[in-house]
Amino acid sequence: MKRESGFTLAQVLIVISIIATLSAAAVPGLVSWLPSYRLSSAARDVLSALDLARLTAVRENAGVAVVFTAANGSYLLFVDNGEGGGVANDLTPNGSERTVRAGHMPPSVAISSAVFGASAKVGFNGIGLPFRQGGSPGGGSVVLTNSKGKALTIVLNIGGNARIQ
């Protein structure tokens, strides 16, 4: 007598229906979790950009600037040393100043505000201390919001340390 092995059609249909039920229950949770995940990921990205700017300034003993653009949800980190006819430490990318990193906010995350004195620009000098437009020392903050209205603030203190609140 020959034995046949395998699954019956009924067994396969039961397993498929269990998988479909579990998937239907998990999708709404995933959809509501995604905006919060994107917001915290964007905040960590901005925090790492500020840390990278500070470390690059110390490593190269040169001014390094971070410019935030709320209109398109982006930031630019560059060595602000005046190369190629630019003006050093003016917090504006000019001449052939080298870009270190350019970043964009993920979908459904926006830069609500970036305030470093009177502008959305901050620089770090060769010893890692932040300065504002015009050269005055000081920190500031960047506020990110998601499509659900939740906000996270990245605060940069006068000593150059940044944290997420």
Binned at pLDDT 50, 70 and 90, residue 24 comes out as: confident
- Identify the band that residue 28 occupies on the pLDDT scale cut at 50, 70 and 90: confident
The count of other CB atoms within 10 Å of the CB of residue 145 is: 20
Is there a domain that residue 3 lies in? Answer: no
Is residue 70 in a domain? yes
Share of the chain above pLDDT 70, in %: 97
Residue 18: which CATH number? Answer: 3.55.40.10
What are the Cα distances from residue 15, in Å, to 7, 27, 155?
11, 19, 50
- Which pair of structure tokens corresponds to residue 108? 């459904």
Token output for 122: 């901050």
Q: Does the residue 1 lie in any domain?
A: no
pLDDT of 146 strictly over 70: yes
Q: Which two tokens stand for residue 155?
A: 């605060």
Residues 142 and 132 sit within 8 Å (Cβ to Cβ):
no
Residue matched to tokens 């229950």: 25
Domain assignment present for residue 45? The answer is: yes
Rg over alpha carbons for the chain, rounded to the nearest Å, is: 24
Q: Is residue 117 part of a domain?
A: yes
Number of domains within the chain:
1
137 with 33: CB under 8 angstroms? no
In a domain, 31, yes or no: yes
Residue 161 clears pLDDT 90, i.e. is over it: yes
Residue 2 lies in a domain: no
> What integer pLDDT is reported at residue 134 of this predicted model?
86
pTM of the entire predicted model: 0.82
The range of the structural domain enclosing residue 155 comes to 9-164
Beta bridge partners of 143: 113, 153
Whether residue 4 is contained in a domain is answered as no
Per residue in 55-112, pLDDT (tens digit) is 999 999 999 999 999 999 999 999 999 898 888 999 999 889 999 999 999 999 999 9
Residue 1 has pLDDT above 80, yes or no: no
